Structure 1
């Protein structure tokens, strides 16, 4: 059995003149990220591996969760392929994870997150909100064999 935690980055700011990849979180994102991280760390088992898009907003969100799970942020694996808005690269990255990882946590972007949650989970979500968390379990022994699984938890910041 494998478990996947998916987190869409927290709300980002559009007020700075920077490229999309370097957009920081806004005030709401800086509030929602740590709040969601604390909630999830209190109820879910610690992941074996954290992987994030290398975009600033995703990395910052991943650091909140690493801190909440008492994982050094230096252990977050950054992957540019996760700077993906469709979902194909996200699936490819997940399938490349080693079988020794039973619980994987990924941080990325929409529409990739919504597409993945609806394609591989059994709970329909119209739009995965910023800083939202979804956990899906899979009856597989290898990430390479990824097939649709069971959504065991979904929560958005406004639900806290």
Structure 2
């Protein structure tokens, strides 16, 4: 069984409208929501084997804050430019290339790619909100075989979900 948790970066700051998008930091709401969502994962008993994040500042910060809440070693987070505004096919390609040593993986990144990935895996959601988490269990032993045909929804959570 392979478990995937897709996490959209938390709310970013628009205090500096001229800042390069890749460098945009988390805003106050993002800084507040990230640890809360990390605690929700902890309460669910989620123990990741790997965290993979877009190297955009807002995604990196979200991953680092959630890693801290889960006591996941920050030096073991994999940061990659591949997830920065990636299409669903690129994201799925990255997922399918993961080492089978990892059973529970969290990926941090952006919409619209994450929304499209969730749809491609057979789940209809209107939107993955900022700091939203969509989790899927795949009934396979290898990441290279994950797809719509073996995906089962695990949970869907987001900051305004009570």
- Unpaired runs of 5+ residues, structure 1, are none
- Unpaired runs of 5+ residues, structure 2, are none
Say if 2:149 is the partner of 1:155.
Answer: no
Name the TM-score, length of structure 1 as normaliser. Answer: 0.95
* Runs of 4+ with >6 A deviation: none
Shift of 1:121: 4.5
CA distance in 2, matches of 1:29, 1:72: 21
Name the TM-score, length of structure 2 as normaliser. Answer: 0.94
Q: Cα RMSD over matched residues?
A: 1.2
CA distance in 1, matches of 2:39, 2:122: 24
> What is aligned with 1:126?
126
Per-residue deviation, residues 92-130 of structure 1 (Å, max 9, x unmatched): 1111100111111100000111111122154x2101000
Q: How many residues align?
A: 159
CA distance in 2, matches of 1:10, 1:72: 20
Shift of 1:44: 3.3
Per-residue deviation, residues 24-71 of structure 1 (Å, max 9, x unmatched): 011111111111111112113201000000000000000111111101
Say if 2:90 is the partner of 1:89.
Answer: yes
